Amino acid sequence: MKKVLLLFICFFITLNNQAQNEPYRSDLLWVTTPNHLDWLYHTNEEASITISVYEYGILQKDIEVAYSYGPELMPSENKGTITLKNGQGLLSIGTMTEPGFKDCQLKLTLNGQEYKHHIKLGFDPEKLRPYTMFPSDFVQFWQNNKQKAYECPVDFTKEFVPEYSNNKVDCYLIKLQTFEKGNYVYGYLTIPKKSGKFPVVFSPPGAGIKPMNPLKHLFYAESGYIRFDMEIHGIRPNLDKETYKEISKAFGDKNNSYLVNGLDDRDNYYMKKVYLSCVRAIDYLTSLKEWDGKNVIAQGGSQGGALALITTGLDKRITACAANHPALSDMAGYKANRAGGYPHLANKFDNMLTPEKINTLSYYDVVNFAKIIDVPVFMTWGYNDNTCPPTTSYIVYNAIHSKKEKLITPINEHWVSTTTRHRILDWISKNLK
């Protein structure tokens, strides 16, 4: 009996790790298992999901679950209810005739508490292609703007930060002039506390205007890498949270967000100075006496993943790129009646996909930078991510023609595990010159 119980516990843990994505410490556990173990199907191939629900680890029988499903981030095409007889229900969610992802959303009420869950399945996602067009003068546009930016001297200040330093790492707060005179960005520079020459890792930030610190990535410097965690708005990253909230409100949101500021004009779009500041940060990093003179890696997640890929396309000094679930990817994709990339200009903003704005986006979209990358790239993303949907991550990955490698983690929403963070560094180490 003990052996049977142990086998059940192991099976339950396996399902918990592989086929669900739960709120932390929830009393209720959803187990949703597609009939294809990799969650992938061909177009016109029917997909089904086996659903089970546990409360306090106890299988719930004969309960009713409401469902709806349709293309991800688009209106549902079907909805209804299913009863989990004997604790299990089999739900067919049909198929797709075009490459993409279908999202099945589940909901139930138990003891007066509502619980939700979702799972996305892919249909020939390796065939997804961008809606965003590649402008004929794309490369020249950025060459011209980089040349103007280079006219601004790279000026910086360097301040030791003891709270982020230890017996293996020295940390400094850098204030860096980049795009034009008087325009600054900040960042935390972490350097191994030993003599030698080291690869540099450039890491731009995720979206938003918020405090930052380098603690979760100190293991890079502890492993023998120089790392620069960059801020992009010219705001000191060590201000308190309340001050950042006030600053964020002053920047505005929705149609006043920095991500749409100046979007009618490719020369005045806010993100131009961000992209060019990333390139100028590489100027600074490659001037460090501790740099090994060979390796420059761009690495980041979400908006940071987008900026890592963009900087890799813009700057031939970068030797490898690692990005997870990149934002700013095929942002006009909603015009193709499917999910577009963060910041979701079709469903979270007003009148943001006009012809003029779509034209500007084509000069700033990750997919067009991905096409001109010629160094090794590592990407990782999950299927259940609604912030940076798998449709757009696949579109970026499919657009890359250089040596590339992917880690697919279907259950993940908008996060990566500590294990994956270290796996990224392992990949970087294997791709050093």
> Cα–Cα distance between 397 and 400 in angstroms, integer?
5
Amino acid identity at 100: G
17 and 99 in contact (C-beta within 8 Å)?
no
User: Which entry of 52, 257, 277, 302 is annotated as an active-site residue?
Assistant: 302
User: Which entry of 103, 315, 385, 393 is annotated as an active-site residue?
Assistant: 385
Query: Phi, psi at residue 142, to the nearest 5°?
Result: -75, -30
Residue 48 is a catalytic residue: no
Residue 36 is a catalytic residue: no
> Cα–Cα distance between 103 and 118 in angstroms, integer?
7
Widest CA span of the chain, in angstroms? 76
> What does the block give as tokens for 159?
């301040």
> Cα–Cα distance between 93 and 111 in angstroms, integer?
28
Distances (CA, A) of 130 to 19, 322, 330, 339, 363: 29, 21, 6, 11, 14
357 and 261 in contact (C-beta within 8 Å)?
no
Closest Cα partner for 275 from 433, 138, 431? Answer: 138
Query: Phi, psi at residue 352, to the nearest 5°?
Result: -105, 0
Amino acid identity at 144: N
DSSP codes joined into one string, 283-351: HHHTT-TTEEEEEEEEEEETHHHHHHHHHHHH-TT--EEEEES-SSSSTTGGGGTS---TT-TTTSSSS
> Cα–Cα distance between 111 and 58 in angstroms, integer?
14
Residue 264 is a catalytic residue: no
How many helices and strands, by DSSP H and E, does the chain display? 10, 18
**Start-to-end C-alpha separation, the chain:** 56
User: Which entry of 117, 325, 344, 414 is annotated as an active-site residue?
Assistant: 414
C-alpha angle 72/366/325, rounded to 5°? 50
Amino acid identity at 360: T
> Cα–Cα distance between 120 and 126 in angstroms, integer?
15
Per DSSP, the three-state class of 59 is strand
308 and 321 in contact (C-beta within 8 Å)?
yes
Active-site positions? 302, 385, 414
